[in-house]
Chains A and B, each alone.
Chain A
Amino acid sequence: MSARRRLASLLLAAAVALPGAAAASDTIREFDSQAQRDRYYELLEELRCLVCQNQSLASSDADLAGDLRDEVYRLVVTEHRSNEAAIDFLVQRYGDFVLYRPPVQPSTWLLWFGPLIMLVFGGGTLAFVVRRRRAATDPELSEDEHARAQRLLSGDDEVS
């Protein structure tokens, strides 16, 4: 029973680990250092595949994604270029669309600042509504009521 359970947990661990390992494992890559390796895989996560548009270069199985991974590898590892150089290479050919994090420019202002504008607008509306409602539900106490509340609070009178 315990052997079987151990096998089961092993299989589970393999199943969890495999998708990560399978991504972009079509070619065996060699790196000079762990840092370089991390840089390469981080880049692939940041770049979008144009064929299956909601996948990154790291996770896409498309033929073109494989070719583009080769290009990124060539630039970053073989030619020791910077991340920016690799990103520029792709943007020059495929446009800003390859970036999962689009640059801040006039055409993307709405995208970047829209949520903030919505937040300010929503917060303002909320504050306005709450204040108005409070004003509407806060009845003024009459003289008598005020005196009675005073008495109740000081505790020297029983509730009548």
Chain B
Amino acid sequence: MRLRYVVPLGIFVILAAFLAYGLTRDPREVPSPLIGKPVPAFELPTVHDGSARFSPQDLRGQVWLLNVWATWCVSCRQEHAVLMEAANEHGLRIVGLDYKDERPEAIDWLARRGDPYAVTAFDKPGRVGIDLGVYGVPETYVIDADGVIRHKVIGPVTRDKLTERIVPLVRELQGAAS
């Protein structure tokens, strides 16, 4: 007889626990199938020089970040300061991928706000973005010395994410590479 009250209560508690856990998750963060896979091959002009070419192949043997950004992206502004810090204080090598943007505006942005990027590739049609599975700018990939994507941040890189996740991971990967 007691069971009659205990069973629904038990079911309710289990359901509530699942729902509560669900609330802590961000539905916009779709896990990327590219993690653990080589970064897709591409070759793009750079923002500053239409005839120069950047390819991920150029950075073989190095651990680097690929940061997808655009001047029309509002949260990229917020992220920019953190990227400056990552480049200048932590010495990370960051490659920009300027996604579906206009060249003069991008050059102007980098000149005015500072340029955290070793090089910025220019992807106006957004084709490389599709190959990378980009669906919301900014997105940031951590790529190891073998050219394999090890981690992805969707949305702006915050200071917490930088110091707690990205920097330790980059150091670990650098240690493994050397």
Measured CB to CB, the residues of A under 8 A from B are 50-51, 53, 63-64, 67-68, 71, 91-97
Residue of A with least CB distance to B32: A95
Interface pair A67/B126, CB less than 8 Å apart: yes
How far apart are B90's CB and chain A's nearest CB, in angstroms?
Answer: 29
Q: Identify B130's interface contact among A53, A71, A91, CB under 8 A.
A: A71
> Mostly helix, strand, loop or mixed at chain A's interface?
helix
With A and B bound together, what is the CA distance between A142 and B40 in angstroms? Answer: 85
> Are the C-beta atoms of A93 and B126 separated by less than 8 Å?
no
Please pick, from B28, B30, B100, the residue contacting A94 in the complex, using a CB distance under 8 A.
B30
Give the residue among B33, B100, B135 with the most A Cβ atoms within 10 A: B135
Closest B-chain residue to A49, C-beta based?
Answer: B135
Residues of B in contact, count (CB < 8 Å): 15
User: How far, in angstroms, from A92 to B132 measured CA to CA in the complex?
Assistant: 10
Q: Flag whether B91 is at the interface (Cβ < 8 A).
A: no
Point out the residues of chain B lying under 8 angstroms from A63, CB to CB: 100
Given contacts A53-B27, A93-B133, A96-B33, 6 further A-B contacts (CB under 8 A): A50-B135, A51-B136, A94-B133, A94-B135, A95-B32, A97-B31
Given contacts A53-B28, A63-B100, contact A95 B33 (CB under 8 A): yes
Contact partner, A93, options B31, B100, B131, Cβ 8 Å: B131
- Nearest chain A CB to B159 CB, angstrom units: 26
The answer on a CB contact under 8 Å between B34 and A93 is: yes
* B contact residues vs A (CB 8 Å cutoff): 27-28, 30-34, 100, 126, 130-133, 135-136
B33 contacts across to A, CB distance below 8 A: 91-96
Is A95's CB under 8 angstroms from B30's CB?
yes
Task: Decide yes or no: A51 and B100 within 8 Å by CB, A67-B126, A92-B33 being known contacts.
Answer: no
- CB neighbours of B132 from chain A (8 A): 93
Cβ 8 A contact of A95, one of B27, B31, B131, B136: B31
Shortest Cβ distance from A67 into B: residue? B126
